[in-house]
Amino acid sequence: MLPGLKTAWASVGSRNRVLTLAGPGAVVSYPLMHMAATGALSGLVEGLRFRLWQSPDQLRTLLVNGDVDFSATPSTLPALLHNRGMPVRLVNISVWGILWLVGTDPAVQSFEDLAGRELLVPFQRDLPAVLLDTLLETHAARGLAPVRLRRTRDGQDAIALMLNGQAEQVLLVEPMASLLLWRAEQSQGQAGVPRLYRGQSLETAWRSAFPAQPSLPQAGVMAAPSVAADTALQRAVADAYAHSAQWCAEHPADCAALVREHLPQMPQAAIERAVRGTRLDCRAAQAARPEIEALYRLLASRFPQAIGGGLPPADFYAA
């Protein structure tokens, strides 16, 4: 058990049940997997287990049925659920960089280099799509040639097009960007498979375009309605998550081996590369509230459906 967790738990008392942690197959979930594997809250709860979810709709069902206590999540989803009447809380933000350009031309490194070119984007009407559109609008305002966006159904479709030589540039989230690079490396020598290069992250481009709003709080952990009032438990989970996130960042190879137990279809080398390419920096939701609300305001002005309308109230952000 981590130092300080027992103190944080003092007002709560023991819990004679297993807590369920959940998340998508993305880097934001990896610390939760480590927590479950190492018994991070031993002595405080009977145990921890982790379960994957494949879509926000599946997570909503799990929450409604009381099958999840804490979940990794894109930063927009808790706001959407809260504004629709589900009393979830945002516990922390841990992922601030997750979107990468991958392309066939090593000279095309930045988003500015995409001027006049085509870009594959497996996003529609979601957070990455809004961020990309907003960034490209600043380029257009500076007179850069427009980027031709080619929408794909999902990341796997985009990967297939890149590997088949039917596209030259793509924007992907981790671990999909690392999976594409790994698959291209493994296929070198096969006819039609291009050599691929990692380019600029969207977060780096964003900092240059919006120096007054340089941070992009993209993912973190939320508390389900069943534990939304349990602030001591939330602090204990947040502390354990931060410890596990640090372990993942410092031991990417070991982290990848652990993650592969939950994602056996993912090559371990690609998972490790994704860990190395993702900025894990845990901050309590209350501490990160200015950056989170700046992002929510941007979404509210461009695509309010992403957060269910307006900004959540102050008590939505856990300390």
- Cβ atoms of 60 and 224 within 8 Å: the answer is no
Indicate whether 183 and 236 sit together in one domain: no
Indicate whether 91 and 106 sit together in one domain: no
> pLDDT for 210-256, tens place per residue?
988 889 999 999 999 999 999 999 999 999 999 999 999 999 999 99
Indicate whether 92 and 241 sit together in one domain: yes
| Whole-number percent of the chain with pLDDT over 90 | 84
Indicate whether 91 and 229 sit together in one domain: yes
- Residue at which a domain ends, from 180, 209, 238: 209
Indicate whether 143 and 288 sit together in one domain: no
Indicate whether 137 and 149 sit together in one domain: yes
Indicate whether 222 and 184 sit together in one domain: no
> pLDDT for 77-91, tens place per residue?
999 999 999 999 999
CA distance 173 to 123: 10
Averaged pLDDT score across all residues of the chain: 92
Q: What is the CATH number of the domain that holds 51?
A: 3.40.190.10
43-74 in b/e burial notation, b at 16+ Cβ within 10 A? ebbeebebeebeebeebbebbeeeebbbbbbb
Rg from Cα positions in the chain: 20
- Residue at which a domain ends, from 146, 176, 209: 209
Indicate whether 161 and 27 sit together in one domain: no
- Cβ atoms of 88 and 56 within 8 Å: the answer is no
Indicate whether 92 and 222 sit together in one domain: yes
Q: For the range 183-188, what are the long-range contacts, defined as Cβ-Cβ under 8 Å and sequence gap of 24 or more?
A: 183/159, 183/270, 187/163
Residue 5 is predicted with a pLDDT of 39
Provide the 10 A C-beta neighbour count for residue 285. Answer: 25
pLDDT > 80? residue 182: yes
Indicate whether 89 and 110 sit together in one domain: no
Higher pLDDT: 178 or 17? It is: 178
Residue 155 is predicted with a pLDDT of 93
2 — pLDDT class (breaks 50, 70, 90): very low
Indicate whether 107 and 56 sit together in one domain: no
Indicate whether 190 and 225 sit together in one domain: no
**Parent domain of 159:** 99-209
Residue 11 is predicted with a pLDDT of 36
How many domains are contained in the chain?
2
3-state SS track over the chain: CCCCHHHHHCCCCCEEEEEEEEECCCHHHHHHHHHHHHCCCECCEEEEEEEECCCHHHHHHHHHCCCCCEEEEECHHHHHHHHCCCCCEEEEEEEEECEEEEECCCCCCCCHHHCCCEEEECCCCCHHHHHHHHHHHHHHHCCCCCCEEEECCCHHHHHHHHHCCCCCEEEEECCHHHHHHHHHHHCCCCCCCCCCEEEEEHHHHHHHHCCCCCCCCCEEEEECHHHCCCHHHHHHHHHHHHHHHHHHHHCHHHHHHHHHCCCCCCCHHHHHHHHHCCEEEEEECCCCHHHHHHHHHHHHHHCHHHCCCCCCCHHHECC
- Cβ atoms of 182 and 270 within 8 Å: the answer is yes
| Whole-number percent of the chain with pLDDT over 70 | 95
- Residue at which a domain ends, from 209, 240, 269: 209
Residue 16 is predicted with a pLDDT of 62
The whole-number average pLDDT for the span 305-316 is 95
CA distance 47 to 63: 19
